[in-house]
Structure 1
Amino acid sequence: MKDYLIFLLCISCYITNAQEPVTKQATQKQKLVLEKDGKDPVCGMKVKKGTTLVSTYKEKPYGFCSKVCKERFDKEPEKYVKK
């Protein structure tokens, strides 16, 4: 049930905070850009390459569907990364 609620929250955040398009200006502000399609480790949604919603954990980049998922991951990355 908890996972379902997180998924619903991510969908609503995704709709309201759609992924930022990659532009020269965006890449200059934040150097991390997802280089290939991936999966949000928090909610499991697909994440397109080029998103700037990226965090690095143990030298591996992770992309996110929304700012909410990125913030959750940044607080407790070990909770969402498979060992």
Structure 2
Amino acid sequence: MRITARIDEEYEKKIKTIQQVTHLNTTEIIKQALDLLYDKTEKIKLTNKEKNQRLLEMLAGTAEGPEDLSENYKDYLFQGWQKKHDID
């Protein structure tokens, strides 16, 4: 495949610097840059299940409160209202 790209002076300087250090031609520099970006992209691609699992792992243990809160939240709310409004 032949690619034609327009780049500004900053990127032209970067390519020339890389060429001076590595003695690679422009084609090889672009190929290696694409390989690096492709590898990085492949590593961050996750399935939805993996994304959900990571989210759960990040959230685990971040909340404080009773362990049975999800089951007995109405009771806890009622107790909180009783304390707040002096209800017996």
- Larger strand proportion, structure 1 or 2? 1
Larger relative contact order (CA 8 Å, sep ≥ 6): 1
TM range, smaller chain: under 0.3
